[in-house]
Amino acid sequence: MMRIGFFDSGLGGLMILKAARQMLPRHDFVYFGDTLHLPYGGRSNDAIYDYTQAAAEYLFRSEDCALIIVACNTASAAALRRLQQGWLAEYFPDRRILGVVIPTLEVTIEKNCRRAGLLATERLVQSQIYQIELQKLNPEIQIFAAAAPLLVPLIENDGGRWLPEVLKHYLSPLLAENIDALILGCTHYPFLRPYLRDLLPEGFPVLSQDEIIPGKLADYLARHPEIDEKISRNGLTKYLVTDITSNYTKTAAEIYGASLDLEKVVL
């Protein structure tokens, strides 16, 4: 039987995986965090493509995934289309790779946002992927993006006490544009929700992918029984990383809310 793969550049995707496990508690998952190459946010498209392809190949060949969720926004922007249209079609035509940008935009539209703020990595903001995809779905919605290169290193390295100051700095140009919602366009950013509560007006809509992706995945599986029926249901999850340090083990436990048995893979 096969599994659902969750790919991220590091450990932030664990928050989305955790929420997906809660929604689909019987399905079997494999998490793959490319901690050796983290952060992706400042890397070139070619490097991100190569890393993502290597991880996908491992998840398909060695872990027998029927479907991979590229939970990393940066990899969704830099590699997803190219992987889906070339490599996947040629080598694994019966498997699927899905990203996180379109589902997030669908929710932005459902919530009637008109001026959405987007907080993301540098590479993601440069890619303009949210604006490009939104043009196809609803060109009337505007996106105001802010690159926030310090957030991932702070989250991955226990830098919580500096987050309010840094967040305030990144949010202020977005708030000056009168945004009516904030998209958290990075796997690590659900971690910011408690900090954002103090920095945004009460009730301000924050679109966080740990609240978006699990439901979209469940919908996808309901619409694609030919994929869903291949996935085993033992309620098991494996946690793979490409590098382990004591700091990663600690961060994984903090992000996930429980200690995890991280396994190192060599590609």
Question: Where on the chain is the footprint of ligand DGL (CB under 6 A)?
Answer: 8-10, 12, 38-41, 72-74, 121, 124, 152, 186-188
Minimum CB–partner distance for residue 70 and ligand DGL (Å)? 9
3-state SS of the chain: helix, strand, coil percent to 5?
A: 50, 20, 30
113 is catalytic: no
Active-site choice (20, 80, 183, 186): 186
Minimum CB–partner distance for residue 152 and ligand DGL (Å)? 4
Q: How far is it between the farthest Cα atoms of the chain?
A: 51
Minimum CB–partner distance for residue 59 and ligand DGL (Å)? 16
Minimum CB–partner distance for residue 124 and ligand DGL (Å)? 5
CA angle centred on 174, ends 217 and 186, rounded to 5°: 30
β-bridge partners, 6:
31, 69
Q: Which is nearer to ligand DGL, 72 or 146 (CB)?
A: 72
In this structure, what token pair is assigned to residue 64?
Answer: 């027998």
Cα distance between residue 265 and residue 244, in whole Å: 10
Active-site choice (72, 152, 181, 231): 72
Reply yes or no: is the peptide bond before residue 39 cis, omega within 30 of 0: yes
Q: Which is nearer to ligand DGL, 10 or 117 (CB)?
A: 10
By beta-carbon distance, which residue lies closest to ligand DGL? 41
Cα distance between residue 122 and residue 133, in whole Å: 18
72 is catalytic: yes
User: Catalytic residue numbers?
Assistant: 72, 186
